[in-house]
């Protein structure tokens, strides 16, 4: 029960702004862009038969576009890592719920086998009551796990 509630908490949790790797990549990318921005373009020499003048201001819009692309890429990668981590957590929760359900069924089946043996060895009202209670518990568990209504009712 508590695992199902915890599962709901993990799916409703919003994605964080950036994870550690995303923040590191963003800082490194911005630093590289700042270095490029403050570096002079005077040394640009394009080998060509004709002289080509390079407008030094052309780099500013390109740097701004690169900055926007960097921000988008870092956020997308960060969201993917967070979603993958959430999927792993949910898979662990589902596996734990499955183990819990399997253990519960094993306990019910063991109780049923013990009640059947007691009833076969001594047909008493107390043993008959234990057997019918255990059978009702088993049928209830089967109905809840399969989603089907109980077919056998006590008469």
pTM score, whole prediction: 0.52
Answer yes or no: is 65 within a domain: yes
In a domain, 49, yes or no: no
Tokens of residue 95, six digits: 């596996």
Residue 122 in domain? yes
Interval 11-33: pLDDT, tens: 555 656 788 888 888 889 888 88
* Domain contains 82: yes
User: How many domains is the chain partitioned into structurally?
Assistant: 1
d(CA 135, CA 112): 7
Q: Is residue 113 in a domain?
A: yes
Least Cα distance to 19 among 65, 62, 68, 76 occurs for 76
The domain of 65 spans 18-39+57-146
What pLDDT, on the 0 to 100 scale, is given for residue 100? 92
Q: Is 96 helix (H, G, I), strand (E, B) or coil?
A: helix
Domain membership flag for residue 3: no
The residue behind tokens 């030094």 is 56
Residue 4 lies in a domain: no
Low-confidence residues in the chain, pLDDT < 50: 1-3, 153-155
């Amino acid at each position: 029960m508590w695992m199902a509630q915890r599962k709901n908490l993990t799916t409703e949790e919003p994605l964080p702004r950036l994870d550690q790797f995303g923040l590191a990549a963003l800082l490194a990318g911005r630093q590289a862009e700042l270095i490029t921005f403050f570096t002079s373009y005077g040394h640009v020499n394009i080998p060509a038969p004709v002289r080509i003048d390079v407008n030094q201001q052309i780099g500013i819009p390109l740097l701004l576009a690169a900055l926007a692309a960097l921000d988008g890429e870092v956020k997308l990668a960060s969201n993917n890592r967070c979603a993958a981590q959430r999927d792993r957590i949910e898979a662990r929760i589902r596996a734990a719920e499955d183990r819990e359900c399997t253990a519960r069924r094993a306990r019910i089946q063991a109780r049923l086998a013990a009640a059947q043996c007691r009833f076969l060895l001594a047909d008493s009202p107390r043993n008959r009551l234990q057997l019918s209670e255990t059978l009702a518990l088993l049928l209830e568990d089967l109905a809840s796990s399969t989603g089907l209504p109980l077919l056998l009712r006590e008469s």
